Amino acid sequence: MGEFLDAALGFPAVIFTFLLVVVIGYWLLVLLGALDIEALDFDADGDVLGGVGFAGVPVAVTASLLIAVAWFVSLAGTVLLGDVLLLAILALVVALVAAWFVTWLLVRPLRRLFPQGPEASRADFVGSVCVIRTGRVSQTFGQAEVTAADGSSAIIQVRQTGADDFKSGTTALIYDYDADGEFFWVTPVPHPEPLG
């Protein structure tokens, strides 16, 4: 155990040893629920990480991978190359390059686990056409089926302000969302006048 500690606290591994302690502490807090995985997402636009090939994965995951791989390679370099300063600097450079390359390889398949883009919202349905699924729609009752941009469909609560005759199977235009009542306002879909 003494040799391991000597290697972990020797140059260049000592640089990454302290960072690895921080990473382990962070993930323990995430597991305990004290922090969210996105707590360190200071690169939300992906400008910095995207420029080096790490976009699409939270910063905490990318940084953890970089630090863990760099620590392991620098630890191996410390053990294999000894205390010669020039060889230790070479081990540090190799550790950094290896960490970047291995993390780049691991981030590519991880991107599928972290979808990008804005979260779906009920307001996304505003402006869509829906199909009435109840026998009537009033100011207090009605349901309709609407298709989202991804092709999935949803049954939603709908209301109208007028006295339009909505029957099951007719189409309507969603023009507003009432967040308090959690329903959508609909109006009849205008049909184009025939030419001639």
Task: Kindly give, in sequence order, each residue whose CB lies less than 8 Å from that of residue 134, ignoring residues fewer than 6 positions away.
Answer: 141, 142, 143, 144, 168
Helix or strand holding residue 20 (H, E): helix 13-32
Over pLDDT 90: what percentage of the chain? 35
Q: Are residues 135 and 97 in the same domain?
A: no
Mean pLDDT of the chain: 83
Please indicate, yes or no, whether residues 29 and 101 belong to a single structural domain of this protein: yes
Predicted local distance difference test score (pLDDT) of residue 65: 92
Instruction: State whether 51 and 91 are in the same domain.
Output: yes
Provide the pLDDT for residue 176.
93
The 10s digit of each residue's pLDDT in 92-123 is: 999 999 999 999 998 888 877 776 666 667 77
Domain boundary among 64, 81, 113: 113
Do 88 and 96 meet the contact criterion of CB atoms below 8 Å apart?
A: no
pLDDT classification of 163: cutoffs 50, 70, 90: confident
Neighbours of 105 (CB within 10 A): 11
| 173 shares a domain with 154 | yes
Give the residue numbers spanning the domain of 61.
Answer: 2-113
Of the three residues 92, 113, 134, the one that is the final residue of a domain is: 113
User: In CATH, what number is assigned to the domain containing residue 175?
Assistant: 2.40.50.140
Q: How much is the pTM?
A: 0.56
Average pLDDT score over residue span 173-180? 91
Q: What are the distances in angstroms from CA 12 to CA 20, 24, 61, 87, 93? A: 13, 19, 23, 10, 9
Domain count, the chain: 2
Q: Rounded CA gap, 82 and 11, in Å?
A: 9
Is residue 56 domain-resident?
A: yes
pLDDT at 126 over 80: yes
Closest CA to 156 of 165, 147, 167, 164: 147
Domain annotation covers residue 182 = yes
pLDDT range class, residue 172, cuts 50, 70, 90: very high
Angle of helix 59-81 versus helix 85-110 axis, rounded to 10: 150
Residues 6+ apart with CB under 8 A from 61: 37, 107, 110
Q: Is the pLDDT of residue 21 over 90?
A: yes
d(CA 129, CA 137): 15
